[in-house]
Chain A
């Protein structure tokens, strides 16, 4: 294994991680809920009265974040190499997989591990393992 020292950014990663932790902390302590993004978004597709506004507000916060960030610094530009076809396939798999699995990187990864939930640890190991395997197959075996 070689480390990509040119892109490795432990301090900004840690600082960003702390912000994510603060967001999850605010959400559970103020609203009493898990900041699981797939669950927040997924719940909008099966709307229940009185259960919509806070979901929309959370999503709007995510969408607005780049613009607030822009007030302080220029965006680090996202580099999206996947083709449109790959993005469609990936989006479908992420959408259906997170709903069946009951969570994504935020709900199981951040909040679940913070709660020391064995269920979330199992989910996190599964999606991380599948992510590692997928990139290995795509990049190392097929050369994408």
Chain B
């Protein structure tokens, strides 16, 4: 059940990315280019997603287990620390270079785009580098 729900959620998420235009890096960069001809579409994507998400997370917050009986695993970390901000800044620079964030890159890869494959390969390498660096750190700070 959980695996099927994951597949369906990934599918609907991907369809949303295609319909919204966010699977197209040129459109994302049109949003990030404030000083050029600005395309505010991405703000509408966020608005639509958060409007639905807010209801769902309000309901989820009242439950201790999911409708399928899985444990509710909502993040408990609240710290706004250097890792959060520095990591997000680094992510934003990468996002601004190519116009790809992880979801749209996977959807474009599904379309058979070679350039998406290059991006996703590098992204996995970056994530692998993170895991390698984490293993070299003392245990006490593992979070996030």
Contact = CB atoms under 8 A, between A and B. Distances in A.
Contacts, number: 511
Interface in A42-94: 42, 45-46, 53-55, 57-69, 75-82, 84, 86-94
B90 to A, nearest CB: 3
Contacts of A118: 78, 80
Interface residues of B, number: 119
Interface in B69-113: 70-75, 77-80, 83-111, 113
Interface string B26-49: 110110111111111111111111
Contacts of B121: 91
Interface residues of A, number: 111
B83 A22 contact: no
B6 A27 contact: yes
Interface in A78-133: 78-82, 84, 86-102, 104-106, 108-111, 113-119, 122-124, 126-133
Interface string B110-144: 11010110111111111111110000000000001
Chain B's interface: helix, strand, loop or mixed, by majority? helix
Contacts of B4: 57
Majority secondary structure, A binding face: helix
Contacts of B15: 16, 19, 65, 68-69
Interface in B39-74: 39-57, 59-61, 65-68, 70-74
A91 B91 contact: no
B136 to A, nearest CB: 14
Contacts of A126: 84-85, 88-89, 92
A139 B26 CA distance: 13
A34 to B, nearest CB: 6
25 contacts: A8-B39, A10-B41, A19-B16, A20-B48, A21-B50, A23-B11, A32-B70, A32-B71, A34-B73, A37-B13, A37-B103, A38-B127, A45-B127, A53-B6, A61-B8, A75-B111, A80-B116, A91-B123, A94-B119, A100-B130, A126-B88, A127-B91, A130-B89, A133-B93, A134-B93
Given A66-B111, A133-B93, 17 more contacts: A14-B44, A21-B51, A21-B52, A30-B70, A31-B9, A31-B68, A31-B70, A32-B66, A61-B7, A66-B107, A79-B24, A79-B27, A88-B122, A92-B122, A94-B102, A98-B87, A117-B75
